[in-house]
Copies of this chain bind each other. A is one copy, B any other.
Amino acid sequence: MRLGPDLDQQELAGAFRSFCDKECSAQHIRDAWDGDRGWSTERWKRLAEIGVLGVRVPEAYGGMGLSDFEMALIAEEAGRMALPEPLVDTAAVGAGLLDDLDRLVGWPPAPGWLERVASGDAVVAVGTLDSSVASPGILVHAAGEADLVLLAAPDAIWALDPADCVTEVRRGLDGTRRFARVDLGSSRALPVVSGEQVRSISVAVTDRGATATAAMLVGLGAGMLDMAVSYAGQRRQFGRQIGSFQAVKHQLADVAVRVEFARPAVWRAAASGASGDATASRDASVAKALASQAALLASRTALQVHGAVGYTSECDLHLWAKRAWSLASAWGDVTFHRRRVLASLVPDPAPPLQGQAQPMDTFRADRGALL
């Protein structure tokens, strides 16, 4: 039993942290807000160059051949600096699903797409559907900027050209996140694969999305905690640093506790996903519930500690806070995942939890719990 990164893994995360420190400042994020797509195609190329986009692409296809676990370490660092690029969508969920389609289904285009992901030549967006019955269209993050849109239902998976299926793009409160309406009906595409074999692949999509997003939320929480601690150490009122007031100390200590106790759960979920453990779905939900809760508490507390300064968009804090709010409901919010955990624990799913083991409709079922 080992739970935690080894030295190599720590080094990998540390190297990526240095990259983010240099290449993803708050000003970079503001530039991304102002841009057409919410993130930088140049930095995307750089992410490919340092290998991050191919972390979980097999070496044979130009990737690093690592697992969801290393991906989670990377995602935490990305969260800490609020990296705007669709890393989770493409490098974690997209690459993971393409890898499954290659290994388990033998879908011919998969290797090509995996190569393009690793080289930074393709953005992949992934959405999930409750059922394969065509819906009036669901909103999928980053699908508007993607080269490939994958949709996973319990009994079918589609690979779509965004040009055929995206009907509109909406902006979110976080300026780096754009949501495209994907209309399966209008694309008239046939599924890549369908039938009972699809279920476990689709469940893994949700689990991977939840876990990688949870990792990013832990990083966002840690980042906001750092900002608040730093501000509380500088700002003076009543002749003292406000961080010397017990009320401020205790609020920040509570944030530290929630963030620290979310991290091992993310590690566990990522490792369970990587090794296909029987508890992988429950572990992912545990991680996402804890990480969302931690990041929401961090955002709420950091805003309060910053006072009016934090209420301005001149202060960088809101760039992190809005990302946290968005990600807290992405890939299932706190309520969704708590429900899923409970459903996994009762032998015969009790009535209040029926139907909860299904992958969710990416958007409508994404319920958020802000503080």
Interface residues of A, Cβ cutoff 8 Å to B: 245-247, 250
Contact = CB atoms under 8 A, between A and B. Distances in A.
Contacts of A245: 246
A246 to B, nearest CB: 4
A255 to B, nearest CB: 15
A20 to B, nearest CB: 36
A-B complex: 5 closest residue pairs judged by Cβ atoms: A246-B246, A246-B247, A247-B250, A245-B246, A247-B247
5 contacts: A245-B246, A246-B246, A246-B247, A247-B247, A247-B250
A324 to B, nearest CB: 25
Contacts of A246: 245-247
A272 to B, nearest CB: 33
A118 to B, nearest CB: 48
A22 to B, nearest CB: 40
A245 B250 CA distance: 12
A75 to B, nearest CB: 35
A309 to B, nearest CB: 21
Contacts of A250: 247
A250 B247 CA distance: 8
Nearest to A246: B246
A245 B244 CA distance: 12
A225 to B, nearest CB: 19
A105 B246 CA distance: 61
A246 B240 CA distance: 14
A47 to B, nearest CB: 44
A352 to B, nearest CB: 9
A116 B246 CA distance: 57
A321 to B, nearest CB: 23
